[in-house]
Structure 1
Amino acid sequence: MFSILIAGRLPQINFQQVSETQFVIPISDIDHVNHLVVFMTGQIPFPENYGGGGNWPSAEGPSWIFLGKITNVKPSAIFKIGKIKDIESKIGSSLAPTLFSGFQHQTAIPTDGLLGISVEPLSQLDQQIQPHDITPSTVASNVEFVSKMLNNFVNYVTSFVQNVPGTSEQIVPLSIIQTWYNNFQRRITENPNFWR
C-alpha cells in the first residue's frame, strides 16, 4: 500500500505490518537523509474518511513525532526528518508531540531509523500537530514569524523608554531587553507555535 523514496536510492516497499492499522519501515544510513517521500502505491486505497499519519520514533522511548499525512486525495508527501534530532536536543522529546504510541520502539530489524504509518480517521489526523522545525519552511511563514517577533519586541521595549535628561535622546535599559529575551525563549521552548 505504501512506498518511500529517498534521493539517490531505489524506492522501498518493505513496510512491515505491526498491527491492524500500523506499519513500519526501516531506513538505513539515516545520517545522510534529510527528506523522504512517502506515497501510496495505488494498489489499495484508504477506507473512506481515513488516511495515513507519518511518524518518526522519539529518541527517548515509545513516543513518536508526527511528520504529516497522506490520503486518497493527497497520496504523497515529503517529510523533512533532518532536524528531528536537533529538535529533541533543543526542546526535549517530552515537548515534541507524542503521537500514536501503539508501536513499540524496539524492532527486530537492524536499522538506523524507522518510519511508521498509522491508518487513522482523517478527523484524528487533522488534530495532530507537526513540530514547526520539521515541516517544510516557507518564506511566508518565516516572514510572519519575524514580523510578529519584532512587533512584540518593539512594543515591549518602547513601554520602558526613558528620556535622557538635558537631551532629546531616549534609552531602554539593557535589563529590559534581557527580560524580553528570557521571556521569549521560555515561551518558544514551552510552545514553539505560541506566536501564531
Structure 2
Amino acid sequence: MFGVIVSGRPVLTDVQTISQTQFAFTLPATPSFSHLVVFLLPGTELPPDTAAAVYVQLPGSPEFKLLGAIANEKPSAIFKVNNKAIGIYSIINDDDAMADESAAAPLSNGAAGNVMLGISVEPAALVAENLAQMKAQAAQPSSGLELVKRPLGSSPVPPKVLAQRIIKNAFNFLASFAGNGPGGSEVVPLKSFQDWWAKFEKRIERDPGFLERGDDD
C-alpha cells in the first residue's frame, strides 16, 4: 500500500503491517540521510475521508514524532529527518524540503540502530488538526523553526495562546469546507488544510504580528 524512498537506496515496499490501519518501515540509520519520500503505491487509494499520518522514531528515542501526512489528494511527500528528531513536513510544498540540504544536518554516520517510520491511516479531520498543532509548536521560538517573527519591543505571547490562535484561524477557514461523512460526522478534505496553510503563510509574510495581536480573519 505504501512505499518509501531514501536517496541512494532501493525503493522500499516491504511494509510491516501492525494492524489494519497501522504500518511500519525499518530504515538503517547508516549511511546517513536527511530526506525521505513516502508515497502511495500505484493503484492504491486510502479509504474515503482518511489520510495517512507519517511518524518517525529516531535511534535512541522512545517516542514517535509526527512528520506530516499523505492522502489521495496528495499521494506523496518529501520529509526532512535529522538528529534533532523533529522532521519538517512538506505536505504543503515539496520544494521546501529540497531547499538547502545543508540547513538540516543529516542523521550522523555514527548513529547506531534503525530509524522506524510509522504510518497510521486516520480520519482526515484528525490528521489536519494534528498537523495544525504541529505547525503551532514549530512556531514557538524555542523550536528553532519560528514561523512568526515577534515585532521588536513587543511582549512574548504564551505558546499555548499562540497555538490556540493558529488552530482557531485554521478552524474558521476549514469550517466552510466541512461535509457529511459516515454516520453523519463532519469531515474536511485534506486539500482544504493545504489551502489554509498556503493562505496562512502569505498572511504571516504580510503581517508577522497578527497572531500576537489576536486578529481574526
Q: TM-score range by the shorter chain?
A: 0.5 to 0.7
Shift of 1:29: 2.4
Shift of 1:57: 2.5
> Which residue in the other structure is 1:180 paired with?
none
In structure 2, runs of 5+ residues without a counterpart are 88-111, 140-144, 165-208, 212-217
For the Cα contact (< 8 Å) 1:26–1:111, is it kept in 2?
A: no
For the Cα contact (< 8 Å) 2:57–2:117, is it kept in 1?
A: yes
Shift of 1:14: 1.4
For the Cα contact (< 8 Å) 2:37–2:78, is it kept in 1?
A: yes
For the Cα contact (< 8 Å) 1:52–1:70, is it kept in 2?
A: yes
Cα distance change, pair 193–34 in 1 and its aligned pair in 2 (3 A):
farther
DSSP-derived class of the 1:124 partner: helix
Cα distance change, pair 86–67 in 1 and its aligned pair in 2 (3 A):
closer
Q: 1:71-82 to 2 correspondence within 5 Å?
A: 71-82=71-82
DSSP-derived class of the 1:128 partner: helix
> Which residue in the other structure is 1:145 paired with?
148
Q: Which amino acid is 2:69 matched to?
A: K
Shift of 1:43: 2.9
Distance 1:23 1:112 in 2: 16
Distance 1:86 1:53 in 2: 15
Q: Residue 49 in 1 paired to residue 52 in 2?
A: no
In structure 1, runs of 5+ residues without a counterpart are 88-109, 134-140, 157-182
DSSP-derived class of the 1:42 partner: coil
Task: Quote the sequence identity (%).
Answer: 25
Larger Rg: 1
Kindly report structure 1 stretches of 4+ aligned residues shifted beyond 6 Å.
Answer: none
**Residues 50-93 of structure 1: per-residue CA shift (max 9 Å, x gap):** 110001137553x4211111001100011111154379xxxxxx
**Residues 90-134 of structure 1: per-residue CA shift (max 9 Å, x gap):** xxxxxxxxxxxxxxxxxxxx951100000111011111133528x
Distance 2:162 2:117 in 1: 23
For the Cα contact (< 8 Å) 1:25–1:116, is it kept in 2?
A: yes
> Which residue in the other structure is 1:112 paired with?
114
Q: Which amino acid is 2:148 matched to?
A: F
> Which residue in the other structure is 2:40 paired with?
40
Shift of 1:42: 1.8
